[in-house]
Amino acid sequence: MVEVLLDRVDGQEVAVVESNCIPEPPAECTPTERTSAEKPINEKLSPIQEFYYGQSIFITGGTGFMGKLLIEKILRTCPGVVSIYLLVRPKKGKDVHQRTEEIFDDPLFVKLKDEQPKFRHQIVAVAGDCSQPSLGMSSQDRATIIREVSIVFHVAATVRFDEKLKLAVPINVRSTRDILNLCKEIANLKSFVHVSTAYANCPQNMIEEKFYDSPMDSDKLIALMECVEDKLAEDITPQLLGKWPNTYTYTKAVAENAIKKHGDDLPVGIFRPAIVISTYREPLRGWIDNMYGPTGVAAGAGTGLLRSIHCDGSVHANVVPADLTVNALIATAWDVADIRRVNNKSHGDIPIYNYVSKDNPITYDELKEMSSKYGLDIPSTRAVWYYSFRNNKHRIVHLFFVYFWHLFPALLVDTATVCMGKQPRLLKVYKKIHKFMDVLNYFATQEWMFTNDRLHALLAKLTFKDRQHFYCDVRDVDWNVYFETYILGIRLYLIKDPLDTLHQARVKWQRLYWCHQALKIILAYIAIKLSWSTISTLFSFFSLEL
């Protein structure tokens, strides 16, 4: 469906996928509808597939971006998985079963539905909430998880950078400790992977695959947030954060402390992805469902709302494609179990995997150039102005653009809107945009050095089949190919503008282009007139003085 549309825009069809991306898995390895009763006849499973065969998996954060990709990939590529238990909380009047069904309405699952139409029997929704003690699970569900599950992925987190600590700590820190306690009761536990972030230890310039000193002991922070009132928690937040720029990175750092403190006797590993953006090739090229990080910038610039960001263009943008990230996460769980097996289940260092793009770097300027290159070819009907965006290294220059190209036009438009008897909206929109940009400034104006030796060791262990099934080597990504589908994915999946409006969008885009040029001429004329008037006045003044 959408994948064909993507290929058609590229000018080619299946040949594009085959030439620009990794090869399709061999036909004999294509997943089909199976149960765990017995292994498929005459089919050789890869080591990672063998690891997942006959296992039941528990996933938190399954309704989120990475969680949905993880579910889809496991079901489609790992035959013989008995069940996937998803921790889901009721939300907006919908129970856990309704919310679980909504997950599979996403276009992300079209390919899985075609290949395995009866996959739903493998999904088990478990009522719970990571913001509640003991994950908000019933004793019956907890007993089921302890009895049935052998592999655990803790993906759930609040990724809002400005989340209040009273909420961020229970979700990001206490839930990690609670899952560790749950895993200690699972007799058949083979692997537990905690998803952190490459920026959990961002006060460090060099970030290696090891533990760093936590800003605070995890148990003490949990106890503190349970004792203090909301107002006091807000008041002490700046003092608690210290060198950490926001509550997200802070709580992720403390969660790693919980792993180190409570998980040393478990087969546990920490997976630290960089900034995760849209998919590269599977199951849909360019699929994304959130506006975080560079994606929000690209969407704002493409619709003409965003014209400047405080960003050093020479800094490397530490971005990784979502499908490669999830493949690496799946492989990480296998590697954690393999390390434990090699060590004969004895205590050892907890493995940490930095999944970053240091081996295939791309700068923010290159990211901007490729985004604009393809964005100008497929404009959206939802654009409000022509593309005019730049990275500004110096804050003073960025603020000039904010006042004269964001706030001043917004003020004029809102004034006209009020005069027409309608509600003003644009200034409120820009307030949200600027708040979003302020969060990104920290990461877009400085650079970190990462090591990823553990990740390289994992890649070296993969067989040919596993390299095909769980393609996760960032070194193989062609960024030019990637950004072509990235921008198209933003148009399709975020802006919700289908490709059949492309002709209409291009007509509008041409009109906006000439309006943009006319505005530049008018502003240039005004600037020249003001400059000439100022020079004339000064010349007259000095002539009179003489």
Q: Which residues of 424-434 are buried (b: 16+ CB within 10 A; e: fewer)?
A: eebeeebeebe
Spatial contact of 173 and 222, defined as CB atoms under 8 Å apart: yes
pLDDT in tens, 370-423: 999 999 999 999 998 889 899 999 999 999 888 888 888 888 888 888 888 888
pLDDT in tens, 213-259: 999 999 999 999 999 999 999 999 999 999 999 999 999 999 999 99
Rg (CA), the chain: 26
Euclidean distance between CA atoms 368 and 362, whole angstroms: 10
Give whole-number Cα distances, 41 to 29, 49, 77, 115, 463, in Å: 12, 15, 17, 18, 21
pLDDT at residue 525, as a whole number:
83
What integer is the mean pLDDT of 251-276? Answer: 94
What integer is the mean pLDDT of 132-159? Answer: 94
Task: Say whether pLDDT at 327 is over 90.
Answer: yes
**H or E segment to which residue 154 belongs:** strand 151-154
Euclidean distance between CA atoms 251 and 216, whole angstroms: 9
Cβ neighbours around 187 below 10 Å, total: 8
Spatial contact of 56 and 148, defined as CB atoms under 8 Å apart: yes
pLDDT at residue 427, as a whole number:
87
- Say which residues have a Cβ less than 8 Å from residue 182's Cβ, sequence separation at least 6: 135, 142, 145, 146, 152
Range of lowest pLDDT (27-36, 194-203, 319-328, 460-469): 27-36
Residue whose tokens read 């069809």: 13
Task: Say whether pLDDT at 323 is over 70.
Answer: yes
Under the banding of pLDDT at 50, 70 and 90, the label for residue 477 is: very high
Spatial contact of 18 and 24, defined as CB atoms under 8 Å apart: yes
* Beta strands 308-310; 449-450: pairing state: unpaired
Tokens of 495: 């802006």
Spatial contact of 273 and 325, defined as CB atoms under 8 Å apart: yes
Give whole-number Cα distances, 22 to 75, 192, 390, 473, 474, in Å: 20, 29, 33, 11, 12
Q: Tell me phi and psi for residue 495, to 5 degrees.
A: -75, -15
The packing angle between helices 408-419 and 426-444, to 10°, is 160
The packing angle between helices 247-262 and 218-227, to 10°, is 120
pLDDT at residue 41, as a whole number:
44
Residue whose tokens read 């990637």: 482
Euclidean distance between CA atoms 75 and 53, whole angstroms: 11
* Beta strands 56-60; 83-88: pairing state: parallel
Euclidean distance between CA atoms 429 and 439, whole angstroms: 16
60 bridge partner residues: 87, 154
Q: What percent of the chain has pLDDT over 70?
A: 90
pLDDT at residue 57, as a whole number:
97
- Say which residues have a Cβ less than 8 Å from residue 353's Cβ, sequence separation at least 6: 209, 269, 270, 271, 272, 328, 332, 335, 452, 454, 455, 458
**Best CA proximity match to 91, nearest among 78, 100, 83:** 100
Spatial contact of 21 and 279, defined as CB atoms under 8 Å apart: no
Left if phi > 0, otherwise alpha if psi is -120 to 50, otherwise beta: which for 54? left
268 bridge partner residues: 192
Spatial contact of 401 and 513, defined as CB atoms under 8 Å apart: no
pLDDT at residue 545, as a whole number:
59
Task: Say whether pLDDT at 21 is over 70.
Answer: no
pLDDT in tens, 428-451: 888 888 888 888 889 999 999 999
Q: What is the mean pLDDT of the chain?
A: 87
Task: Say whether pLDDT at 210 is over 90.
Answer: yes
Spatial contact of 300 and 388, defined as CB atoms under 8 Å apart: no
pLDDT at residue 544, as a whole number:
61
